Chain A
């Protein structure tokens, strides 16, 4: 069996459909109709999908409990409430968020991204284009030749931050603030300089980068 997911949904029709959909995509699904036993059921699961409106304990409470007992477990919230309401409450702890009615393909895509993101923080190497990244060991290796690439602390920090947000476009401000831990000063060229050096090391052709892609006018992206 594949990766095990915890799924909490009280609506039988939606629940059975989503379960079979996910199982078709190779996941093992632990489906509960209420959140009371969520913490026990989460053992061995790699991700939790939570509905917000549940009988008894609501999804936010269940989510907070799960985060407390297993902080590394990614949580995807499914909500049928007005988004402005949920956004304020839900994303405090949830890793991602989807409003009903959602497209089943959108759900599987989000699950995949979340799983990759957590994998990047783990011991498994992450394969990006021609590279293999061992985040725990601060190591980047060229897949074909096995050649080791040495990155400076900041370069590796930037790169691993992007890997943790695989597929997401990150603005210069977001990267700078996450890596340097201070607020971004507009016009600061530091980040651009670091990214140029990073590209010189990891790209096959730094003049047309494949790994760290520039999204014009917005920022950068590392695609899976």
Chain B
């Protein structure tokens, strides 16, 4: 249920990495059509601010406008009406208080001056006029000369002078350009920074995800990742979590199955052995009773059968457990002769009791093989047990090491009737099956040489792989 919810959760577009990437791309597209005009506007504003920010910023317009205005005014006047001209000049003075005005009539006499100006001749000759013009054209103050009357027909003229500062910007044109470039540069840098941050963020999250994926919990499975955002990477994280969850689940199921199987076998073993133990105790009680010789021998037989049934059950269950892979062997480089000696030490009292004469002839130097300690002991136990059960008649057990074609082999021999011979108790099969299974898991093998005079079991390397171990 939880998994379903997790999967069906719809990612809103706003939350996706794609949307954010689109935003950046959009920004890049808008860069030219929006940013450039925007920059221009900003430029204008800056220009506005940095120029004569006061009200008299070119308050009379530019020089061309003034010039044409002056010519227009002059063309409307009649040089024959001096009061009209005077009135116009006064009006102009009122309109342009900073200006200087005068006019010259057709006779060449200087008339009204507003304000009175020095350096003007009372009577203008041609030379004066030319000199005046020469001195004032393109100079400061800005000077406009216009002939009176329409179409410059008159020979009188009127002059207006204005300080150049009123007509010109104090700051030169284009003084805001560095700001403009700076602004573009900042915007560009901002864009680069934005994309850089975006990718760095993605990269960091991917790296975090990668390191989280490689982190293992106690059970050897990857740990779930804490979700931070639910975008594409978040989805990836969620999918990963779901996967680990499934993995954990299946491992848990496997473990539970294994547990169940083990318990089943343990219960089976218990249920089979408990009645055997009860039977055994009753048989034992019988021994205390006065019995005929035949009765005594039957009791002995019963005891033996119960014993071998017990170990048969053990072998059967052990075989089931082992072959189902529930007992993985741990192979270590061990001195197997030591294991052989320790195992023989445990069996020795029984051999003595059964009248079997042990002949143990093992070299002092160790023999290292890669074996599982418990598994190898089990192999030896089963082989010794077979001898006690089936080859007791030989009254001999020999344990030695021989140099074979494939390195050294451990030889366990008896003088029983041989494997083909009739033995008091059959059922060596399962015990030997366990031996062979364990040996093959340890890359060893058993060879049997059986004659009527006895059996030799040789345990050695299956292949060359064990050899180098002795040279280490």
Contact check, B269 vs A101: say whether CB atoms are below 8 A apart.
no
From B36-44, B101-109, B180-188, B302-310, the one touching the partner chain is B302-310
Q: B276 — which chain A residues lie within 8 A by C-beta?
A: 100-101
Is A193 in contact with chain B by the CB < 8 A criterion? no
* Cα separation A171 to B266 with both chains bound (whole Å): 33
Q: How many A-B pairs fall under 8 Å by CB?
A: 117
Contact check, B360 vs A17: say whether CB atoms are below 8 A apart.
no
Is B358 in contact with chain A by the CB < 8 A criterion? yes
* Cα separation A110 to B303 with both chains bound (whole Å): 19
Contact check, B374 vs A84: say whether CB atoms are below 8 A apart.
yes
* Cα separation A87 to B374 with both chains bound (whole Å): 9
From B127-135, B199-207, B313-321, the one touching the partner chain is B313-321
A-contacting residues, B310-341, CB 8 Å = 310, 314, 317-318, 321-322, 327, 335, 338, 341
Least distance between B300 CB and chain A CB atoms (Å): 12
Query: Quick one: CB contact mask for A127-139 with B, threshold 8 Å, 1 for yes?
Result: 0000000000000
B-contacting residues, A77-91, CB 8 Å = 80-85, 87-88
From A33-41, A64-72, A142-150, A212-220, the one touching the partner chain is A212-220
Contact check, A80 vs B269: say whether CB atoms are below 8 A apart.
yes
Q: Say which residue of A18, A83, A187, A215 sits within 8 Å of B314 (CB atoms).
A: A83
Least distance between B122 CB and chain A CB atoms (Å): 137
Contact check, A80 vs B360: say whether CB atoms are below 8 A apart.
no
Least distance between A173 CB and chain B CB atoms (Å): 6
Is A61 in contact with chain B by the CB < 8 A criterion? no
Residue of B at shortest CB range from A171? B341
From B64-72, B160-168, B280-288, the one touching the partner chain is B280-288
Contact check, A80 vs B274: say whether CB atoms are below 8 A apart.
yes
Query: Quick one: CB contact mask for B255-286 with A, threshold 8 Å, 1 for yes?
Result: 00000001001100110111011111110110
Q: Say which residue of A53, A85, A217 sits within 8 Å of B362 (CB atoms).
A: A217
* Cα separation A88 to B321 with both chains bound (whole Å): 13
Q: A95 — which chain B residues lie within 8 A by C-beta?
A: none
Q: B278 — which chain A residues lie within 8 A by C-beta?
A: 11, 13-14, 17
Contact check, A171 vs B269: say whether CB atoms are below 8 A apart.
no
Query: Quick one: CB contact mask for B360-372 with A, threshold 8 Å, 1 for yes?
Result: 1110111000000
Q: B345 — which chain A residues lie within 8 A by C-beta?
A: 168-171, 215, 218-219
Contact check, B364 vs A101: say whether CB atoms are below 8 A apart.
no
Least distance between B382 CB and chain A CB atoms (Å): 11
Q: A53 — which chain B residues lie within 8 A by C-beta?
A: 266, 270
Is B198 in contact with chain A by the CB < 8 A criterion? no
Query: Quick one: CB contact mask for B293-307 with A, threshold 8 Å, 1 for yes?
Result: 000000000010011
Contact check, B266 vs A101: say whether CB atoms are below 8 A apart.
no
Q: B321 — which chain A residues lie within 8 A by C-beta?
A: 82, 84-85
Least distance between B33 CB and chain A CB atoms (Å): 78
Q: A182 — which chain B residues lie within 8 A by C-beta?
A: none
* Cα separation A167 to B360 with both chains bound (whole Å): 19
Least distance between B323 CB and chain A CB atoms (Å): 12
Contact check, B358 vs A80: say whether CB atoms are below 8 A apart.
no
List of 7 A-B pairs having minimum Cβ-Cβ separation, nearest first: A217-B360, A169-B345, A17-B281, A80-B273, A82-B317, A101-B280, A101-B276
Contact check, B266 vs A14: say whether CB atoms are below 8 A apart.
no
* Cα separation A185 to B306 with both chains bound (whole Å): 43
Is A102 in contact with chain B by the CB < 8 A criterion? yes
Q: A21 — which chain B residues lie within 8 A by C-beta?
A: 281, 284
